[in-house]
């Protein structure tokens, strides 16, 4: 939903954006020159830490929104999925337009999703159609909107309390809490109980990386991802087989989890709910569960640790009686460090965006469109107090888990679980980074936070 924008307000915002862009441009030049003059290695190596910094990215995007909000190139930056060039879209309204026009701008994950499942697509990689509608309907019955509050919030709260309590004032957040809770959700809620949590974390991280993050098509990653896919397929096949055998033998009453609900739908001949269909539905959800929740939670912690004043307020909110107050700090911190700062789509046909404006652009068929939801969430033309850390921000300002038809299928699970898995940690007094490099995010040559050592005063 756009904010009301009269011509006078638009003029004022435009001038303010222009001044902000000039300041940002000056800062970009100073920071870049400092690294080029002082760093070691090639220019790309010297600048890479700066380019990876979220604050630096916001400065660059602030400039682009003013001087070049939409642009295209014949150069293909994404190698993982077929395309004939690249377009970048930065303004809030234009990003939403691209993501809304799913008939003109398609999702591209299908080929790699089929590799992972061994043949079938998952609905996040499909265009609108009968199969998409069937699969979404099936999984809405198995993954219910009431589940986060009724099942996942109580479970995740207890798990987080136990993990933080056992830390005795020390915790490696991604290893001990960030990845462990979503792995337990995969086991207890989705129903994949056989594999060790450590294996689930490894497999899903590789598969999410391959499917969504490996835009350069790394030749080293593919064999690792394919091996992980086979492990996940075999684990799910075994789980399904054992559940059905147990039911046939009159075994104990099964747990009320997603797998069991799928098998109950199979028993009444629901289309799409054969064993292979169930396995592929679960693969799609499980891949997105562990790395997304773990990385998002770690980046939320990191952002609040960078803001001592907001950290103190977030900790006070965590100890208070209003869950919504603490949630405001969680999601606002994630706006500053989103899990996916760019959502990509491919133009199905020649399509014009921002029609009737000075930034109108026709995107040729086959072009990969990088829709910057990160930029959109900081666009002052449509986001109130865009540059202010505002825990009470309206939900309409956020594009944290996609937008439109292909919003993340587990978005409401993420929104419910993230605050409760973080609250016990933020309730501990004097939450801080461990000294030295251990207290900074270590991605260990992956796109995901692997280590972040924290300290707090034991109660």
Give yes or no: residues 206 and 133 share one domain: yes
Give yes or no: residues 11 and 111 share one domain: no
pLDDT at 419 > cutoff 50:
yes
- Domain finish residue from 44, 67, 90: 67
End-to-end CA distance of the chain: 45
Give yes or no: residues 188 and 248 share one domain: yes
Give yes or no: residues 244 and 158 share one domain: yes
| pTM of the predicted protein model | 0.93
- Domain finish residue from 29, 50, 67: 67
Give yes or no: residues 297 and 149 share one domain: yes
Give yes or no: residues 27 and 168 share one domain: no
Q: Average pLDDT, stretch 404-412? A: 87
Indicate the average pLDDT of the chain: 91
Q: Average pLDDT, stretch 367-377? A: 97
Instruction: Give the domain extent around 186.
Output: 68-455
Q: Cβ neighbours of residue 259 under 8 Å, at least 6 residues apart?
A: 190, 191, 192, 239, 240, 243, 278, 282
Model pLDDT for residues 213-269, shown as the tens digit of each residue: 999 999 999 999 999 999 999 999 999 999 999 888 887 878 899 999 999 999 999
Q: Average pLDDT, stretch 314-321? A: 95
CB atoms within 10 A of CB 82: 12
Contact 270, 305 (CB under 8 A): no
Position 15 scores a pLDDT of: 62
- Domain finish residue from 67, 90, 123: 67
The CATH number of residue 277's host domain is 1.10.630.10
Contact 187, 181 (CB under 8 A): no
- Domains in the chain, number: 2
Give yes or no: residues 18 and 82 share one domain: no
Model pLDDT for residues 143-169, shown as the tens digit of each residue: 999 999 999 999 999 999 999 999 889
Q: How much of the chain exceeds pLDDT 90, in percent?
A: 74
Model pLDDT for residues 435-451, shown as the tens digit of each residue: 999 999 999 999 999 99
Give yes or no: residues 17 and 88 share one domain: no
Model pLDDT for residues 81-139, shown as the tens digit of each residue: 999 999 999 999 999 999 999 999 999 999 999 999 988 877 777 788 888 899 889 99
Give yes or no: residues 59 and 104 share one domain: no
Give yes or no: residues 210 and 358 share one domain: yes
Contact 124, 284 (CB under 8 A): yes
Q: Average pLDDT, stretch 184-194? A: 96
For helices 275-305 and 130-142, the axis angle rounded to 10 degrees is 70
Give yes or no: residues 170 and 181 share one domain: yes
Angle at alpha carbon of residue 182, lines to 180 and 244, rounded to 5° = 110
Q: Cβ neighbours of residue 163 under 8 Å, at least 6 residues apart?
A: 171, 176, 177, 180, 181, 424
DSSP letters spanning 366-389: TPEEEE-HHHHTT-TTTSTTTTS-
Position 165 scores a pLDDT of: 94
pLDDT at 1 > cutoff 50:
no
pLDDT at 356 > cutoff 60:
yes
Give yes or no: residues 317 and 172 share one domain: yes
């Amino acid at each position: 939903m756009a904010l009301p924008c009269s011509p006078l307000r638009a003029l004022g915002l435009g001038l303010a954006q222009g001044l902000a862009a000039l300041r940002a441009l000056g800062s970009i030049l100073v920071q870049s020159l400092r690294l080029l003059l002082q760093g070691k290695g090639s220019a790309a190596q010297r600048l890479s830490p700066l380019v990876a910094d979220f604050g630096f990215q916001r400065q660059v995007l602030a400039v682009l929104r003013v001087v070049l909000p939409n642009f295209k190139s014949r150069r293909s930056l994404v190698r993982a999925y077929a395309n004939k060039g690249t377009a970048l879209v930065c303004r809030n309204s234009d990003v939403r337009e691209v993501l809304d026009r799913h008939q003109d701008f398609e999702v591209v994950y299908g080929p790699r999703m089929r590799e992972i499942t061994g043949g079938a697509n998952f609905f996040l990689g499909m265009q609108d159609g009968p199969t998409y509608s069937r699969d979404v309907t099936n999984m809405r019955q198995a993954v219910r909107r009431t589940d986060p509050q009724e099942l996942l919030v109580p479970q995740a709260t207890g798990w987080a309390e136990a993990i933080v309590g056992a830390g005795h004032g020390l915790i490696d957040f991604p290893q001990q809490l960030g990845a462990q809770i979503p792995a337990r959700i995969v086991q207890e809620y989705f129903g994949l109980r056989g594999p060790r949590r450590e294996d689930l974390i490894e497999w899903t991280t590789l598969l999410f990386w391959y499917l969504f993050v490996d835009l350069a098509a790394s030749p080293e990653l593919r064999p690792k991802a394919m091996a992980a896919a086979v492990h996940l397929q075999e684990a799910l096949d075994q789980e399904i087989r054992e559940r059905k055998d147990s039911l046939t033998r009159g075994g104990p009453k099964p747990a009320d989890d997603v797998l069991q609900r799928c098998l109950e739908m199979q028993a009444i001949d629901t289309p799409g709910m054969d064993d292979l269909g169930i396995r592929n539905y679960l693969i799609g959800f499980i891949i997105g569960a562990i790395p997304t929740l773990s990385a998002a939670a770690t980046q939320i912690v990191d952002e609040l640790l960078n803001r001592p004043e907001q950290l103190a307020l977030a900790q006070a909110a965590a100890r208070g009686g209003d869950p919504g107050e603490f949630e405001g700090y969680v999601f606002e911190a994630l706006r500053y460090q989103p899990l996916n700062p760019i959502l990509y789509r491919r133009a199905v046909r020649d399509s014009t965006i921002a029609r009737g404006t000075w930034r109108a652009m026709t995107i040729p068929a086959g072009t990969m469109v990088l829709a910057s939801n990160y930029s959109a969430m900081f666009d002052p033309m449509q986001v109130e107090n865009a540059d202010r850390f505002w825990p009470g921000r309206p939900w309409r300002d956020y594009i944290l888990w996609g937008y439109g038809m292909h919003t993340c299928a587990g978005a409401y699970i993420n929104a419910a679980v993230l605050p409760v898995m973080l609250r016990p940690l933020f309730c501990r007094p004097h939450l801080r980074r461990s000294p030295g490099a251990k207290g900074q995010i270590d991605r260990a040559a992956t796109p995901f936070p692997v280590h972040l050592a924290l300290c707090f005063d034991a109660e």
